[in-house]
Amino acid sequence: MSDIVVTLGAPVPVYEQIRSQVAAAVAVGTLRPGARLPASRDLARDLGIAVGTVQRAYRELEASGVVISRRRTGTVVAPAGTGTTPAGGRTSVPPPAGVVAQARALVTDARAAGLTDDAVLDVVRGALATPRDRTAEVGREVS
């Protein structure tokens, strides 16, 4: 799990950078169920950040069902199907790699345009609020 990279001083808090990278790695299958995450102290030392920052990221990941933390055995990726969606529903299927790539492209484009993370989330929430039968129409060009 040495693939985690944080940018100190970025508008996104460091704990959220860690949380989102771990969640994305689980979602695309880079981290499989049962995979052990580095100990909080080790990851904090490697990244040059406070242990509490890593612990907060791990707590949030555990609260959303992405990982399971045990005192003696450490933090591991939860079994498939134990995570929750933002709406509170259960999910067992990771998003397709293309969807993850599009989400990353959206974030990159939005940040380049000067949008805040909250503004990007508002855009996504608005798209999710679109009725499913209209979602297919939104991407179509009208001739």
Domain boundaries, the chain: 1-92, 95-143
For residue 35, give the DSSP letter.
Answer: P
Question: Could you read off the pLDDT of 52-107 as tens digits, one per residue?
Answer: 999 999 999 999 999 999 888 899 999 976 554 444 444 445 667 777 788 888 88
Q: What is the pLDDT of residue 93?
A: 54
Confidence at residue 85, expressed as pLDDT on a 0 to 100 scale:
46
Residue 28 Cα to chain centre, angstroms: 10
Name the CATH topology of 1-92.
Arc Repressor Mutant, subunit A (1.10.10)
- Per residue in 1-45, pLDDT tens? 558 999 999 999 999 999 999 999 998 889 999 999 999 999 999
pLDDT value of residue 87: 42
Is pLDDT at 117 greater than 60 in this prediction? yes
Contact 10, 53 (CB under 8 A): no
pLDDT computed for residue 36 by the predictor: 95
> Residue 7, Cα to own-chain centre: how many angstroms?
16
